[in-house]
Copies of this chain bind each other. A is one copy, B any other.
């Protein structure tokens, strides 16, 4: 009987094989493969040639068995295919993380619980140490994962600041500053009655962007006014509704800062049907600099976030946490960038 175990072995070569061909011991080949400095150049060359000839690739399982590292990170997405999926935020973060990990030869394992049962088994899987670290994308308030992982000693990094009460490293963009810059831009354009359409106020993103808006108003000596604030949920529809409410409450508003481009687009359509000219009568700035920003009429000014960079930062943090032994929590906040387009052009003349 051949040693084929029911399934062909993709590549027969092992450390042993390489060692034999190169006329050295397994240990030496291992040193070469892992870039140990204590191998003489000539032997190194010989081993490398043998590796090349055999097309040798290390067996991750074997390595992992002894090093107790899996070489992979888990990415958990706890979101019912909602917002996270319809806007391109998520894929971009993913790409950033992926880019960083690929260069380091690390793998990303995707985990998407669909049920509490799934969540449990995913928790088991992660705490069993099958991954070296975990990224959590959209955290719900009483998600059991952070504490389970902490208990198991598995490094964790969150995408986006968590709600108070959850302690973990995270990477976020500076939502507050982003909102500020948008409002400051509107002020600079001569606007005085600046309204906002906020995101959900039980989410840090929603809270922070509103806070930035208020701060900027105060700084500009404009003070805040509850009639200038309406809450949305990031969708286009909610933006439209919020805009209608704002127009009812403060018909004389001359600018709107929307906490997402989709909401801004919704607002735009309501303004159009209300006969308000954008940007002449009402200026508007969105958030995310998503694809819709350029396809609206007029194109939307928007706050751009460095989302891929965020993903890369997440990966880097995780790698650091795995390699270092300290369990210090880190947070990285990335700056945003205001993209000016026609929707917020300044008043022709004051």
Contact = CB atoms under 8 A, between A and B. Distances in A.
Interface residues of A, number: 57
Interface stretch (A19-27, A127-135, A165-173, A174-182): A127-135
Contacts of A46: none
B91 A114 contact: no
Given A7-B68, A95-B112, A102-B118, A85 B88 contact: yes
Contacts of A102: 111-114, 118, 121-122
Interface stretch (A33-41, A59-67, A276-284, A334-342): A59-67
A143 interface: no
A131 B5 CA distance: 16
A30 interface: no
A333 interface: no
Interface in A93-127: 94-95, 98-99, 102, 105, 107-114, 118, 121-122, 124, 127
Interface in A61-97: 61-62, 64-65, 67-70, 72, 75, 81, 85-86, 88, 90-92, 94-95
Interface stretch (A8-16, A188-196, A211-219, A253-261): A8-16
Given A10-B127, A65-B62, A295-B237, A91 B99 contact: no
A61 B102 CA distance: 21
A348 to B, nearest CB: 26
Contact of A129 (B10, B75, B236, B291): B10
A144 interface: no
A153 B10 contact: yes
Interface of A: 5-11, 57, 59-62, 64-65, 67-70, 72, 75, 81, 85-86, 88, 90-92, 94-95, 98-99, 102, 105, 107-114, 118, 121-122, 124, 127-130, 152-154, 236-237, 291, 295, 325
11 contacts: A6-B325, A11-B129, A57-B124, A60-B61, A61-B62, A81-B91, A90-B91, A94-B112, A108-B109, A109-B110, A236-B295
Given A60-B70, A62-B65, A102-B121, 18 more contacts: A7-B69, A9-B129, A11-B129, A11-B152, A57-B128, A61-B61, A61-B70, A81-B95, A85-B88, A85-B92, A90-B91, A91-B91, A94-B110, A94-B112, A98-B110, A99-B114, A102-B113, A237-B295
Shortest Cβ-Cβ A-B pairs, 5 listed? A10-B129, A57-B128, A61-B64, A85-B91, A98-B112
